[in-house]
Each structure stands twice: as structure tokens, then as C-alpha cells.
Structure 1
Amino acid sequence: MSLSRSVSITQTAIRNTSIANIRGLGIDLVHVPRITALLSRKPVYLAKFTRRILHEAEFNRAASMIESRERHDLFVARCWSIKEALYKSLDKSRQSYFQMRDWNTIDPDSPKPTVSGEAINRDEDFFVSVTHDGEYLLAIVIRGQSDKSTQ
């Protein structure tokens, strides 16, 4: 049976997580014009690139953003940055089989983005924060051991 959960950063979760429960930290900085340039390439490359990094739900959202002429490059940059930071928060053994498309960044443009995926262990929580200013976007992911594992 596969386990898929969503987690987000909240005041309650922070209070319930001690510093001893932190298992990994990942930080990623993206220059948004770099993503914009990648997305402006040939349509064949665009499809290949986005299929490789976006979860199916993210891919569908990005496609609908393109149709409605929304700024999909910033959406893709957020997804990319969150997943890069998430990758950096994982142990080396889990990094070896990490696939960006297996992780879904739920509401990456909201004040409380979350991640979900089949690879989330029952005893871990991910805390996500994203900020951007002008051409730069920064994502931070803290991977912690859940207090539920000791109950």
C-alpha cells in the first residue's frame, strides 16, 4: 500500500517539533529569468523538460496557466526550487532515487506551500517556505521527524 500525505508549515507544527527532531535542511535559490529562458525554447523541449520535473497535477496546472496567459514561469520556478530544496533535505540514500515528478508541490504560490508524495515516510514532516523578490526566488525545506512516530 502506498502512502501519500500532505504536510505544511504551521505554528502548531513548529511548536511540536524540537530541534532534535530536525533530520535535514535544504535551501535553493533560483534566478527566475533562467527558468523563463528554458520555458521559451522549442515546444518539444518544453514538454520534455516540464514532464521531467512536474508532478502530473502541477503539469496540468501549468498547462492551464499557459492557456489563460498566466505567468507559468514563476509557477514552474517555485515548483523547481521547492523540489531542489526538498532533495537537499533528504538523506543520501533517498537522494539516489529522487525523482522531481514524484513530488507534488501543493499551492507553491500560497503563503503556506505544502509537498506531498508517495516517498514521504510516515514518521516525517516537511516544512516549506518560499519567498521571491524581483528576479530571485528562494525555497527552504526542513525535514523533521514527526512526534507521531514516538506515540
Structure 2
Amino acid sequence: MNRFHVHLNVADLASSIRFYTALFGAEPTVRKDDYAKWMVEDPRVNFAISSTGREAGIDHLGIQADSDEALAALGQRLDAAGGALVPEEATVCCYARSDKLWTEDPQGTRWETFHTLGEATTYYAGEAPCATNGTTCSPDLRVVKPKVAKGASCCAADSGCC
């Protein structure tokens, strides 16, 4: 079963960890100097916070797929919804290795669909410098060109991302 994902940028990580630990009734499942994540079962959500220098507030929303097939199905639904898709394969972000598809809704809210492949030792590995500002994992979709062909495994060849 897929899981809803929320990622917030916070100004004070320690006080935010205290607040969300009380709210969820559980300690974070991942806790680093600049990041914390709760894998909550009720409601089923992957809730993450980070203090990486970005403006406080919602960074992005998303859906965590539980398999490659579920991620592909979500990609087809995003494509049908009309959003431009920006894929990232085997990326390191938020102390995890994942395959991802990024898009924006009509209001400009960034959406991340992803399948986690395993843990990582760093918050951000910086494999795609054209996609990010170096302090975050989520790409600036105004800068990165979306994929143009269905079934492509990466962003447009002339974008410099891959």
C-alpha cells in the first residue's frame, strides 16, 4: 500500500521534533542533525522535516510507492493529469536512495512520487546539480526540463541533468 508523504522545512529542528513526536505519539524513525522522519501508520504517512536553510513551510507533498510497479502506475496517473514529469533514478535524498518522479500541480505545489531503494549516509548527494540548489533534494522544476517522451528513463537529453 502506498503512503502519503509530506516534507516541511523548519526553522528550529529540535522544537519541531518535540512537537511532532507529541503529535504522532512516537519518536522519529530517522533522526539526523538536519532532518527527522516519522513513518506513521494512523494516518499512513511519511512525514519529514528538515532544516537545510530553505524558507520554513511546506517543501513538497508526495506519495511513497511500495514497489517499482506502483511507482510506474503513479507516473501514468501523473502523466494523465497533465503534469510535466521530471524523473530521477537512483538518487540520494533525505538519507535514502530512491527512484522518483517530480511534477507540479496547477498551483505550483511540488509533488514527489518515489520508491525507496535503501538508506544513504548523507542528506543529499548532489547527483543532479542542475536540478537543485545544493541544499535540498527536490528539483527546481522551473529550471529542469521535463521528460518529453513517454517511457523515457530520464529528463530531456539537452537539459544537462543526466
TM-score when normalising by structure 2: 0.27
TM-score (norm 1): 0.28
Q: Which has the higher contact order (CA 8 A, sep 6+)?
A: 1
Structure ranking higher in strand proportion: 2
